[in-house]
Amino acid sequence: MLFKFLVVVQALVGAAMIGVILMQKSEGGGLGVGGSPSGLMSARGAADFLTRATSVLAFLFVTLSIALAGLASVNHTAGTIDDSLSTPARPVGSDNGVPLGETTAPAATPAPAEPAKPASDAGSSGVPIE
């Protein structure tokens, strides 16, 4: 239950961090937020706030990642592998079920079939010549 809660919190922190990063004004313009020239949302105030928010959210994200990794390793239980659908595996390096290095007698080749009798009075189109 705690693990699922922390996963949800980490997803929310990650989404908030993405939003804060996208709102920051970058060298290329970015999605910078405009506002009045004074107060918290001035260019300088917004930059300071967004920088601090990014730092806090990044710290929370890393801390939650470490906590989730710890919880996952502690709560790990040995599972069973369902092999009801598995097929028998051929040995590694085998060819048609014969392991490499072993030889088998060559398979008997069937006798060639009798050649078809040519049509003596048929032309190249198969139509009899009169």
pLDDT value at 56 more than 50: yes
Please give, one letter per residue, the 3-state secondary structure of the chain.
CHHHHHHHHHHHHHHHHHHHHHHCCCCCCCCCCCCCCCCCCCHHHHHHHHHHHHHHHHHHHHHHHHHHHHHHHHCCCCCCCCCCCCCCCCCCCEECCEECCCCCCCCCCCCCCCCCCCCCCECCCCCECC
pLDDT at 36: 46
- Higher pLDDT, residue 5 or 120: 5
pLDDT value at 34 more than 80: no
Task: State pTM to two decimals.
Answer: 0.48
* Whole-number Cα distances in Å, 8 to 11, 55, 68: 5, 20, 11
- Higher pLDDT, residue 46 or 35: 46
Q: Is there a contact between 49 and 40 (Cβ–Cβ < 8 Å)? A: yes
Q: What is the mean pLDDT of residues 83-96?
A: 66
% of the chain surpassing 70 pLDDT: 52
Q: Which range in 24-38, 70-84, 86-100 is most confidently predicted, on average pLDDT?
A: 70-84
pLDDT at 82: 81
Q: What is the mean pLDDT of residues 32-52?
A: 63
pLDDT value at 35 more than 50: no
pLDDT at 1: 85
Q: What is the rounded distance in angstroms from the CA atom of residue 120 to the CA atom of residue 90?
A: 54
> Which sequence spans correspond to the domains of the chain?
2-74
**What six digits make up the tokens of 45?**
């105030």
pLDDT at 62: 96
